[in-house]
Structure 1
Amino acid sequence: MVSNMDLNLLKVFVAVYRHRSITLAAEEIGMTQPGVSGLLKRLHHQLGVQLFVRSGRGIAPTHQAQELMRQIEPALTQIHNALEGMESFSTQHDRRFVIYASEPVMLMLLPKIEADESLGKVKIELHPTLLSEEKLIHSLNQQQADLAIDFANFSAPSFLFEDLFADDLCIIVRKEHPRIASSISLEQYYQEKHITLKLRRENAYLADYFTVESLNERDIAAECDSLLSQMSLVSSCDCVAVVSRNMAKMFAEKLNIKILEAPFTNIPIRYRLMTHNRMKQSPANRWLREKLKSYFTVTV
């Protein structure tokens, strides 16, 4: 059976497994739905096991399919990497890259991309990162983006992670704040009203998530889901806010705010490049990773 196995059957199997849909798998590999169904039947007959069953409006893999995927995915990834490594990449050809990034990364990265005259015909497109780790991993797995830039410290064995840059937290207030001058104590911090930022994916406030100490309850005047809106609010009132230092430096002069050292112990915010292992040896993806790393002088 192994000597007569058509490896294209495994390619079809993997596409259907990842999409849980014959229609979407057919679109990905450029085949018709009947063609994909026919190849799946051939694989079913060769292996002698049921691979997929109906589940609602879609299909679901059987235990045998899950085991097959577990066994063949590393080998297919190695084959893909070997073939990708033989391809060439040039900025003289049209190429569009899609990157998932958070708001701070977008604000830092886009000016660097626009100022880069060496990109040639390459277009780097920034999209908002997804709100859950599961959705982010699934989207990268489906090749809906080339890579992501993320600070989440989660483990995904099928993915490659590379350090990009580090950030930390600071306190900001408007320059004319009536009670806070060039520094802020922990007591002052708790006495003031706060503009907070909620990290939706982690379901925690930015200050709590990247602080060693457990912070006490604060007097919250407003809660934001955007760093830029948080800083804009601080610039127009007497509240305080905890923000990332890189963002504060970018907008301190424009928003007439001052940056103060936090009266608690920060946990570094470490941003990493994240892409699927199958893209590790791709000349295009390697070029993109090196290009992004060249934009940041502060390394982890």
Structure 2
Amino acid sequence: MTLSDFDLNLMRVFLTVYRCQSITVAAEVLNLTQPGVSGALKRLQNQLGQKLFVRDGRGIAPTHLAHEMARQIEPALEAIENTLTDAQEFTVEGKRRFVVYTTEPVMLKLVPKIEADKSLGNCEIVLCPTTVSEAELLEKLNLRQADLAIEFSESSTSSHFTQPFFSDQICVIASKNHPRIQGNISTQDYYQEKHITLKLRREEIFLVDYFTEEHIQPRKVAAECESLLALMALVASSESIGMTSVSMATQFAEQFGLQILEAPFNSLPVDYVLMGHKREQNSKANIWLREKLLSYVLD
């Protein structure tokens, strides 16, 4: 077989299957049918005269040849894609759907701004709840299932970039009608009251434990929530106190009838970052998306 006989278009299909370790998932990423992906792989294997994947339980596993091909071809293919992407002009007249994974407080902050933005043209910005694990989130960026993520922890991988987004703080909230807490709260008061708590899904620890310099002692927990909005509603309708971000408390305090109180201990800033795959760092479309999101938190 000569190079002129080789179908280079099959390389993108191969690399996507290699990354996904699944023909079904690869078909979704490539927006192709499963038979189309299977047929492309079969043609590539026929051209090479060797197998690239073998059955492994209900899935597939790459062969040694597939590992070697991916290692050598992936950087070259990404360089070509980056060059073509950088050369493409981006305008909001073209139809484009951007997917951004982020946390509940950021969603609540951004959705009204996105809906009110009349300059999006034919572009759509869709916010999705952040994943349970960082590995799963990075995989979505790797497979182009997400354009960006907004996180409060920076990835240490060499394949991804981060950019500062905005900084927040945590605070204590209590009902305006609370019989004992009014205007401020001491450390003693904090531990004497019952708490509505929120556990961060990814870190498997409570919000207050993640963003404080001090060791937080065990508290009397009345209820544990998975949503900050649910936490705020429970605090508003009970004598329990809770912790949330200052931006979220400010946004909903009047609606829920809440007091916003300074935390009685040294809290750490909640520093959000925009995170994406490095192949998108110089993409005009991704730069537009990052600038647009930044404009929502700077105005």
TM-score, normalised via structure 1 length: 0.90
C-alpha deviation, 1:189, in angstroms: 0.6
Secondary structure of the 1:131 match is coil
C-alpha deviation, 1:2, in angstroms: 9.9
Per-residue Cα deviation, 1:79-115 (whole angstroms, up to 9, x for no partner): 2111001111111222221211211111000011111
Residue 198 of structure 2 aligns to which amino acid in structure 1? L
Does 262-271 or 273-282 show the bigger shift? 273-282
Per-residue Cα deviation, 1:21-63 (whole angstroms, up to 9, x for no partner): 3354355164724531233314643xxx753221112211234
Instruction: From the superposition, tell whether residues 2 and 204 of structure 1 become closer, same or farther in structure 2 (CA, over 3 Å).
Output: farther
Does 264-273 or 35-44 show the bigger shift? 35-44
Of all paired residues, the percent bearing the same amino acid is 52
Secondary structure of the 1:238 match is coil
Secondary structure of the 1:157 match is coil
C-alpha deviation, 1:72, in angstroms: 3.3
Query: Residue 92 of structure 2 aligns with which residue?
Result: 91
Q: Distance in 1 between matches of 2:173 and 2:45?
A: 62
- Counterpart of 2:44 (choices 15, 23, 40) is 40
Instruction: From the superposition, tell whether residues 138 and 34 of structure 1 become closer, same or farther in structure 2 (CA, over 3 Å).
Output: closer
C-alpha deviation, 1:65, in angstroms: 2.9
Structure 2 unaligned spans of 5+: none
Matches within 5 A, 1:94-105: 94-105=95-106
Question: 2:176·2:257 contact (CA, 8 Å) conserved in 1?
Answer: yes
- 1:224 paired with 2:225, answer yes
C-alpha deviation, 1:10, in angstroms: 2.7
Query: Residue 290 of structure 2 aligns with which residue?
Result: 289
Q: Distance in 1 between matches of 2:38 and 2:251?
A: 54
Does 140-149 or 63-72 show the bigger shift? 63-72
Residue 274 of structure 2 aligns to which amino acid in structure 1? L
Q: Distance in 1 between matches of 2:264 and 2:144?
A: 43
Question: 2:45·2:51 contact (CA, 8 Å) conserved in 1?
Answer: no
C-alpha deviation, 1:207, in angstroms: 0.4
State the number of aligned residues: 295
Matches within 5 A, 1:1-300: 7-26=8-27, 28=30, 30=32, 32-42=36-46, 44-45=48-49, 51-297=52-298
Per-residue Cα deviation, 1:236-289 (whole angstroms, up to 9, x for no partner): 111111111110110111111111111111121111112222222222121111
Q: Aligned Cα RMSD in Å?
A: 2.2
Instruction: From the superposition, tell whether residues 52 and 34 of structure 1 become closer, same or farther in structure 2 (CA, over 3 Å).
Output: closer
TM-score, normalised via structure 2 length: 0.90
Question: 1:102·1:129 contact (CA, 8 Å) conserved in 2?
Answer: yes
Q: Distance in 2 between matches of 1:3 and 1:187?
A: 76
Structure 1 unaligned spans of 5+: none
Question: 1:22·1:37 contact (CA, 8 Å) conserved in 2?
Answer: no
Instruction: From the superposition, tell whether residues 147 and 2 of structure 1 become closer, same or farther in structure 2 (CA, over 3 Å).
Output: farther
C-alpha deviation, 1:74, in angstroms: 2.9
Q: Distance in 1 between matches of 2:102 and 2:285?
A: 19
Instruction: From the superposition, tell whether residues 188 and 63 of structure 1 become closer, same or farther in structure 2 (CA, over 3 Å).
Output: farther
Question: 1:82·1:281 contact (CA, 8 Å) conserved in 2?
Answer: no
Residue 155 of structure 1 aligns to which amino acid in structure 2? S
Question: 1:185·1:263 contact (CA, 8 Å) conserved in 2?
Answer: yes
